[in-house]
Amino acid sequence: MSLHIAIDEKYPIAKTVLMPGDPLRAKYIAENFLEDAVRYSEIRNMYGYTGTYHGIPVSVQGSGMGMPSMGIYSWELFNDFGVENVIRIGTAGSFSEDIEIGDVVCALAASTDSNYCGMFGTNGTFTPSCSYSLLKKIQTSAALNSVDLKAGNILSSDHFYESDPDWWKPWQRMGVLAVEMEAAALYANAAYHHKNAIAIMTISDHFVTGERATNEQREKNFTDMMKIAIDTIRL
């Protein structure tokens, strides 16, 4: 029985779920991108909705911020509700001079400073990675939507604020493209449950240049990312 997601049996969760961090962003997606959307859960105000996109069932579920929160909600989706595919949609900060504000980044793998993967008992370092089947669809969708998708290793960090202003530079030297806070837990849960997951993020902040996206940029860039994510459902 799920402790953090409650559903009305008349409105089951779809096999594919889009997961923004912000529950109000989930509400926005349901109201602006889905047809006949209904809210199936509002426990702790972490909203979840099910609707259709071109007649295909799809759900949108807020994950909250950080790996513990993503770990809870994605685990319950996979384990308790039979979800097969989760697409994280969010924001990230760029470590790369070649990745600019507004670019969309796909996390092929998620390095992390978290010990989240320690619970799985692997005798070594497990590398949380995306689903290849979803990756192919994301690439196709990006091309159809004329979005220049960037892809590579990203960092899922337990920390939003750091005491050392240069903390990110060793990660940059290892070719890590950007930082966010959820993908590693999502990928690890998907691997454990033999399900599919992928994370795509728009760049809202830049560690090299110090730039930050304006509110107008955030809205436009989010729309580009959403088009990529939601159109995978038809592929």
Angle, CA 156 vertex, CA 197 and CA 147 arms, to 5°: 60
**Which candidate, 63, 71, 76, places its Cα nearest to that of 13?**
76
How many residues does this entry show for the chain? 235
224 is a catalytic site residue: no
Angle, CA 190 vertex, CA 193 and CA 183 arms, to 5°: 155
Measured between alpha carbons, how far is 219 from 210 in angstroms, rounded to an integer?
20
Beta pairing class for 150-156 and 178-180: parallel
Q: Among the options 22, 80, 158, 205, which is catalytic? A: 205
| Catalytic site positions | 205
